[in-house]
Amino acid sequence: MYETNAGSKNWFRALPKRTAEIIPLVRQAVELGADTIKADPTDDVAVYHKVIEIAGRVPVLVRGGGKVPDDEVLRRTEQLIQQEAAGIVYGRNVIQHAKLAGMTRALMAIVHATNRGQVNKNRSTKRG
């Protein structure tokens, strides 16, 4: 969908604006020696793997972003974790939820099932 030719210096410019802003910030965090990175979600969740690639061996935790419907939170979380995000850092979509415990359990199931390889069996082990 997006041109991601790593040989090109500006391959990220073909990405949506917000995504193209996040990637250089993650790269800078890595270059400054970050142990863990908390990064915003990208405009298109399907390209979050580019953020993970830029981070290399540094674990990336995804921020929750704005308030969205439950099904979108769960779907987006699964997609992000399948792209090897190390975890999630959500606020209002959990804390302000009418069924806080239920939403927490649902998100934990996605994160922990994926990290055990039950959701995405092709998950690499590049971070260790």
> Residue 32 is part of a domain; what is its CATH number?
3.20.20.70
| pLDDT-wise least confident of 6-10, 17-21, 27-31, 79-83 | 6-10
- Distance, CA of 86 to chain centre: 8
Helix (H, G, I), strand (E, B) or coil at 17: helix
122, part of any domain: no
Question: What pLDDT, in 10s, does the model give residues 1-26?
Answer: 444 444 555 655 666 677 888 999 99
Neighbours of 124 (CB within 10 A): 7
Give the list of residues 6+ apart from residue 19 with CB closer than 8 angstroms, or none: 12, 42, 43, 44, 47, 50, 51
Number of separate domains in the chain: 1
Question: What pLDDT, in 10s, does the model give residues 37-78?
Answer: 999 988 889 999 999 999 999 999 999 888 889 999 999 999
Catalytic hit among 38, 50, 121, 126: 38
Burial profile 16-48: b = 16 or more Cβ within 10 angstroms, e = fewer: eeebbebbeebbebbeeeeeebebbbbeebebb
The answer to whether 16 and 46 have CB atoms below 8 angstroms apart is no
pLDDT-derived band at 35, boundaries 50, 70, 90: very high
23, part of any domain: yes
Catalytic residue status for 121? no
82, part of any domain: yes
Query: Dihedral sign, CA of 53, 83, 64, 67?
Result: positive
Tokens for 83, please give them: 């792209």
| Domain residue limits at 93 | 11-115
124, part of any domain: no
| pLDDT-wise least confident of 1-5, 49-53, 83-87, 120-124 | 120-124
120, part of any domain: no
Say which residue, 74 or 113, is predicted with more confidence: 74
28, part of any domain: yes
pTM for this entry? 0.76
72, part of any domain: yes
29, part of any domain: yes
